[in-house]
Structure 1
Amino acid sequence: MATNGTTAEADEFWLFGYGSLIWKPPPHFDRRIPGWVTGYVRRFWQASQDHRGTPEAPGRVVTLISRSYWEQLVDHHDSAPDKVWGVAYRIKADRVAEVKEYLDIREINGYTIHYTPFYPAPGVDPALLPQNHHHDFPFRTLVYIGTPDNEQFVGPQDPQKLAEHIYRSSGPSGLNRDYLWGLEAALGELSPESGDEHVTDLSNRVRAIAAREEKKDRGEREQQHHEQPHNFRNAGDIDEQEETEKTS
């Protein structure tokens, strides 16, 4: 029986997803396990030039921050859960090289490879765990992280300004706000305790912005409608035209 996170995965390749990988999984996986990692904080502090933004107007996506480093920063969201929830995927053995190449392309914009112990959620079918593994111990997973020294790392931001930025941004993979809301929904499906205050607060702020903008657009459409000229003719003119048509 494995007793730590260094031997259980010796013959298997496991990947940890904490962002879009939760609801947009990699190809060729045969096991999916919800759970968490520790020692990190999840934040929307990574610029996205290739998926949810463009080089001219980068969007924002999540990365993991070492908790010891995060504690030295001034963050408007000054609390974070001890557990960063996400999903571990086991990749089929004969497809590992292919999937690694796929992930290197998908995560190329500032992310680098790291390894971290992963704790399976309670109640996971033991048959899904690495061979001879026990729930009491984590197993090692590969994870892509945008560390503070990468060029796309933007660091702490005012939550409202960040929400406004996310609302406005879009890229080849779609609207930045859909990434945010997709992450919020995916986290909510993992466990009753898998929520993330940072993600939830940003989601609520962006929903409020969307409602504000929709109200503004509706008001502008109504104003344009009222300002359009109407070519009304009085009843006498209409009656006269009808009589003319009848006698012609």
Structure 2
Amino acid sequence: MAADETTSETGEFWIFGYGSLIWKPPPHYDQRVPGWVTGYVRRFWQASQDHRGTPEAPGRVVTLIERSFWASLADAHDSAPDKVWGTAYRIRADRVAEVKAYLDIREINGYTIHHAPFHRADGRSPPTIRTLVYIGTPDNDQFTGPQDPQALAEHIYASEGPSGLNRDYLLGLERALDELSPESGDAHVTDLSDRVRAIESRGRREGGPAAEGFERHPASHEFRKVGSVDEQEETEKA
């Protein structure tokens, strides 16, 4: 990919994270900036066969849906914030090729490369940055489309893959979003998280094995800066 297709107007390389990248950042970055993009809706409508599920039993992770397309669908969560909050990372110039190759592997399961203007929340200049973003578009074979929220929450609760429990991803995303800004919450993420907690609570009351599994694997949302691709791959499997 040519340099002018991957870099911002200033020649810098920025990546926008709206899912696990918020709290599991790429290696070799030197700036992390909270902010948002517009024109999209975040939904748990992407199957995960490689991280939070398996090919036989895919989990569910987030993708971005163009707002105009989302508005044409019948979604039980019929509202969405105008801003999709997340974080942008500036990658060190001497490490761009390495990080790009790593992310192409990390995000390969149905995601493709796009670019979006990112609005930084820290008030610094430039106020808008051109960022690279991985999106699972509706034409990829892992895209699920609208789902019943309760059925989706139960699916997330039961799923697990090489990177851990699917519910840890959901709960980690909820916490990471809440920590970005007082206005950065996402009702879709919060509703699914509430439903997952209710499932866990019901399982605990009934003394079922699901509750025990939940307690063994609490949601991980600790932000940790890593300095190498190898180390990042380890945190992905933690």
Deviation at 1:125, TM superposition (A): 6.2
Contact 2:20 2:173 in 1 (8 A): yes
Distance 1:213 1:7 in 2: 48
Q: What number of residue pairs does the alignment pair up?
A: 204
Deviation at 1:9, TM superposition (A): 3.4
Distance 2:156 2:171 in 1: 11
The Cα offsets for residues 8-62 of structure 1, whole Å up to 9 and x where unpaired, read as: 5331000000000000000000000000000000000000000000000000000
Distance 1:96 1:8 in 2: 13
**RMSD in angstroms over aligned alpha carbons?**
1.6
Q: Secondary structure at the match of 1:117?
A: strand
Residue among 203, 210, 219 paired with 1:213? 203
CA separation of 1:14 and 1:8: change in aligned 2, threshold 3 A: closer
The equivalent of 1:86 in structure 2 is 86
The equivalent of 2:133 in structure 1 is 143
CA separation of 1:8 and 1:105: change in aligned 2, threshold 3 A: closer
Of structures 1 and 2, the larger Rg is shown by 1
Distance 2:63 2:25 in 1: 17
Deviation at 1:7, TM superposition (A): 8.9
Fraction of identical pairs, as percent: 77
Equivalent runs, 1:222-233 vs 2, <5 Å: none
The Cα offsets for residues 97-116 of structure 1, whole Å up to 9 and x where unpaired, read as: 00000000000000000000
The equivalent of 1:200 in structure 2 is 190
For 1:175, give the aligned amino acid.
Answer: L
Structure 2 residue runs of 5 or longer lacking an equivalent are 1-5, 210-238
The equivalent of 1:9 in structure 2 is 9
TM superposition outliers: structure 1 runs of 4+ over 6 Å: none
Q: Secondary structure at the match of 1:43?
A: strand
Structure 1 residue runs of 5 or longer lacking an equivalent are 1-5, 127-132, 220-248
Equivalent runs, 1:1-248 vs 2, <5 Å: 9-121=9-121, 124=122, 126=124, 133-135=125-127, 138-217=128-207
The equivalent of 2:212 in structure 1 is none
- TM-score (normalised: structure 1): 0.80
- TM-score (normalised: structure 2): 0.83
Deviation at 1:68, TM superposition (A): 0.4
